[in-house]
Amino acid sequence: MKDLSRRFFMRAIGAVPGAAVALDLQAKAAAHGVPLLPLSDVRVQAQPAAAAGPTKFLDFGEWWKKFGHEDAESRARHVSHFDADILSMVSVSLTSKIRMQRARNFEQIKIEQERDFLSRIARDGHFNWWP
């Protein structure tokens, strides 16, 4: 038999962080007839999501709100160069110049995305997007 240390005792009684909450959640789910996976089988039974087909969009505003805005913001954050007029501003801090260039990058990305979206609508009649 093992020595009765604090760690062994805590492990034996199941006193791990969140165990009481998980057991309470399982009891509530069972009372309502909702089956939950046992905590130990979550990795084994989890299936990867099936590859979904493309989503068709006909309106740029709808696509922009769902997917385009977030992507454009992340792409616009990367400033690799400054426009000449921003660079020539003498009394403006570097942080302000970066902020202005990010705003311009964002607007330029939005214009390019809208142009691409409308050209695909004109060509195919819809815009396919794989999320």
pLDDT digits (tens, 9 = 90+) for 12-22: 666 555 556 56
Q: Where are the domains of the chain?
A: 6-45, 55-129
Sign of CA dihedral 7, 10, 12, 15: negative
pLDDT digits (tens, 9 = 90+) for 50-109: 556 777 888 888 888 888 899 899 999 999 889 999 999 989 999 999 999 999 999 999
Rounded-to-integer distance, Cα 89 and Cα 97, Å: 8
pLDDT digits (tens, 9 = 90+) for 24-38: 666 776 676 665 555
Rounded-to-integer distance, Cα 79 and Cα 81, Å: 6
**DSSP 8-state class, residue 56:** E
Classify strands 55-57 and 127-129 as parallel, antiparallel or unpaired.
antiparallel
- E strands present in the chain: 55-57, 127-129
The pTM assigned to this predicted structure is: 0.55
